[in-house]
Amino acid sequence: MRTSPEIIRQIDAAGAREAESPAVADDEAVGDGEQNTVVNLGRLAWLGTVGACLIAVLILVIEGYYGYAGVTFAVAVAAFINLL
């Protein structure tokens, strides 16, 4: 497939406009600074643990294993405390 000269000119013009646009500096934050916080890997792991435990609690309650569901819920609460 051949490319027409008009398409090539359009692509070149778009690239020139892109090169002329000012780039955002690295130190500039997008949006509110309090909303753009870093989530470290440890906090993300505890959040995943809480989520997995709550899903397991739901499944255990549906299946009628109330004792195991209670213990799993206690583990979820303990993991949630680590998030505070």
Question: Given this model, what pLDDT does residue 75 score?
Answer: 96
pLDDT at 23: 56
C-alpha neighbours within 13 Å on the C-beta side of residue 22: 4
Q: Under a CB-based contact definition with an 8 Å cutoff, are residues 76 and 50 in contact?
A: yes
Contact 71, 61 (CB under 8 A): no
> Could you write out the three-class secondary structure of the chain?
CCCCHHHHHHHHHHHHHHHHCCCCCCCCCCCCCCCCCCCCHHHHHHHHHHHHHHHHHHHHHHHCCHHHHHHHHHHHHHHHHCCC
One pLDDT digit (tens) per residue for the chain, 84 residues? 556 777 667 777 766 665 555 555 555 556 666 676 777 888 889 999 999 999 999 999 999 999 999 999 999 999 999 888
Q: What is the pTM of this model?
A: 0.55
pLDDT of residue 14: 67
